[in-house]
Amino acid sequence: MIQRIQSFYLVLAVCAMALCFMFPVVTCHVDGGSAEGQPATSAMPVQIEGKMYLVDRADAGVSMQIDGKAETLPQKKFVSTWPLVVTAALAGLLALVSIFLFANRMRQVRVVAFAFLINVAYLFIVFISTYDTFTDHVTQMAEAMGCAVSCHYSIGTWMAVVSLLLLFLAQRAIRRDEAKVRAADRLR
């Protein structure tokens, strides 16, 4: 039945993967600095902010402000996000499809397990390759201007971790339902 707890977990997993498209995956900002290695109290303050999204948006990329002059470099110059988009969309789509497979629980378990693996692949791509590539480029730009930049994972990454947990809970609930049905069939 569709009103089971695993359906609730799967709906939340789909919502978490949808939030990955709305919030940044990586956010970088200046810890303090100024242009050309001058002290932070210099007349030419530098502000650097970088945001990497799954899809290219108006505020995606690296924006620098030096002495009132702003420059924005788009995200496309730094990192290709199409592997992230494909894996996030596939994980969310599989979780959505698996909601309606309640009649065949074993097939639902397999689809949820595959969505779990796709979600792990998404996190692997974020943690291993994309984060390093984006932060390396932002850090190189900041060091050229004498700034120290700190980058951290943002909501777009942590929502995928939440989705992974929800997929695990859904699969566990589906297996528990299947065990109950098999036990009831044995009693007949």
Average pLDDT, the chain: 84
Structure confidence at residue 2 as a pLDDT band (50, 70, 90): low
Structure tokens at 22: 């709305």
Cβ–Cβ contacts within 10 Å for residue 70, how many? 9
Tens digits of residue pLDDT in 11-33: 999 999 999 999 999 988 876 55
Tens digits of residue pLDDT in 85-122: 999 999 999 999 999 988 888 999 999 999 999 999 99
Check residue 52 and give its pLDDT. 87
What value does the mean pLDDT take over residues 127-152?
Answer: 82
Does residue 147 have a pLDDT over 90?
A: no
Q: What is the 3-state secondary structure (H, E, C) of the chain?
A: CCCCHHHHHHHHHHHHHHHHCCCCCEEEEEEEEEHHHCCCCCCCEEEEEEEECCCCCCCCEEEEEECCEEEEECHHHCCCCHHHHHHHHHHHHHHHHHHCCCCCHHHHHHHHHHHHHHHHHHHHHHHHHHHHHHHHHHHHHHHHCCEEEEEEECHHHHHHHHHHHHHHHHHHHHHHHHHHHHHHHHHC
Cα 46 to Cα 31: distance, rounded to the nearest angstrom: 10
